[in-house]
Structure formats: C-alpha cells, structure tokens
C-alpha cells in the first residue's frame, strides 16, 4: 500500500501544513502503509498552457518534475493533500499541479484511490475554505475522501497538538479504507454522475481528445 503526501507550503520545516501532512503519513505508516512526503514547492513545474495535448496523446508537453510526481500519484493507493490558505485558496504551487491534471478529471484517473486533505490558515476557521476546495477537486478526480482536517495558526499549541492527533488518526483510517476498499455511498453517487458527464464531454470532443476517447472506449464507457 503506497501513500503519497503532498505539502504545498513553501516554508519547509517551519510549515504547520507539512507537520500535519507528516502526521497523517505517520498514522498510515503505523497501519503498514509505505509513505512518501513530497515538498511540492521544491519541484520545477511549468504552468498548464491549455494546449490540449494531454487530451490527445495522454502526455503533457512539459518535461519537468511534475511528470515524475504525476506518475507517483497515479500509481499510489492513497493521497494526502496539504495546503495553507493563500488568499482564500490553495497556494499557487498546488494550483499549478492541479491545473496540470486536467486529463485526470476527464478520465476520472483517481478512481479507486482515497484522499485525506489538510489545510492551515492565519484567520480563524479560514482553513475550511481550502478544505472545501480540495475536497471538491479530489472528488472530481474520482478519489474517495476519507476525511480532512486543518487549523488556524493562531489557535495555539494545544489546538495544534489536538489537530496533529486528529491527522494521525485520519492516516490510520486512510490506510484501513484502502485495505478494506471502503466505499462511501454519497460519494459513489457523485462519481456516477461525474463519469457520465465526462464521458459525454469526451464523446463531444471525440476528434480532438483521441487519447481520452480511446481510454473510455477501452473501459466500455463504464
């Protein structure tokens, strides 16, 4: 069982987000998972330029660090996504990574995976804006959401310890969800709707999005 944690704070060892992502990974490791923590801000990543080549050929034109990370994401069983709140959203690095995964939405490439989302903020409760965003994005990629947690930096040492413990517990649950192939019925309804929506979209763009058409065709549009 492989779980990748992605920390999108640029603050290295000072980052609260990184500490919480690590806590989730520690919890998962305690249940037997193999874990890896990626500092997204250390990677070289180009912006998506909307060329549509990934839709057509299944490969991005940019040869950068995201190629390797994307492969790791697609081969992982579980993901931990962590970002601070920067102006009511994820950091630019996290957004850049998400934009580069547009084909994962069209083909629902994270189907069968499980995600825990982590966020932090300066303002009280503002981390929830980021959790809502990440929960929505990861569901749209097809991944189950095991859970999410976050904290505001001003909440103090005790609250941070509590959130750290919650993050560790979420890591344990993440590993158990993966090994038991747990399903979340409400999320399954959403996946069914999404698959239909994106299959219809790919059919509409059949002549340009050739790789995506072939992908769904191979799955018999299921």
| Residues of the shown chain interacting with ligand FMN in the complex, contacts defined by CB under 6 A | 9, 11, 15-17, 84-88, 120-123, 126, 153
8 Å CB contact between 8 and 93: yes
- Residues near 42 by Cβ (< 8 Å), separated by ≥ 6? none
State how far the alpha carbon of 162 is from the alpha carbons of 10, 20, 33, 98, 158, in Å: 24, 11, 23, 29, 6
CA dihedral 32, 120, 71, 214 (to 10 degrees): 110
Instruction: Give least dist CB 127 to ligand FMN, A.
Output: 7
Instruction: Give least dist CB 18 to ligand FMN, A.
Output: 6
β partners of residue 148 = 117
87/180 with CB nearer ligand FMN: 87
Instruction: Give least dist CB 41 to ligand FMN, A.
Output: 10
β partners of residue 120 = 84, 151
120/199 with CB nearer ligand FMN: 120
15/146 with CB nearer ligand FMN: 15
Instruction: Give least dist CB 24 to ligand FMN, A.
Output: 14
78/84 with CB nearer ligand FMN: 84
């Amino acid at each position: 069982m492989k779980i990748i944690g992605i920390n999108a704070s640029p603050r290295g060892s000072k980052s609260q987000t990184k500490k919480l992502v690590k806590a989730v990974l520690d919890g998962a490791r305690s249940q037997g998972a193999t874990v890896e923590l990626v500092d997204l801000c250390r990677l070289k990543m180009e912006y998506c330029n909307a060329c549509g080549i990934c839709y057509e050929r299944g490969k991005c034109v940019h040869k950068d660090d995201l190629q390797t990370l994307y492969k790791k994401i697609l081969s992982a069983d579980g993901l931990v996504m962590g970002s601070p709140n920067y102006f009511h959203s994820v950091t630019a690095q996290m957004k850049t990574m998400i934009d580069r995964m547009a084909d994962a939405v069209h083909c629902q490439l994270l189907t069968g995976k499980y995600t825990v989302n982590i966020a932090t903020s300066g303002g009280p409760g503002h981390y929830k804006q980021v959790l809502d965003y990440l929960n929505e994005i990861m569901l749209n990629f097809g991944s189950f959401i095991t859970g999410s947690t976050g904290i505001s930096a001003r909440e103090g040492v005790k609250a941070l310890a509590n959130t750290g413990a919650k993050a560790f517990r979420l890591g344990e649950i993440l590993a158990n969800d993966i090994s038991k192939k747990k399903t979340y019925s409400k999320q399954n309804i959403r996946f069914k709707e999404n698959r239909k929506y994106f299959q219809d979209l790919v059919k509409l763009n059949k002549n340009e999005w050739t790789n995506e058409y072939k992908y769904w065709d191979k799955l018999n549009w299921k």
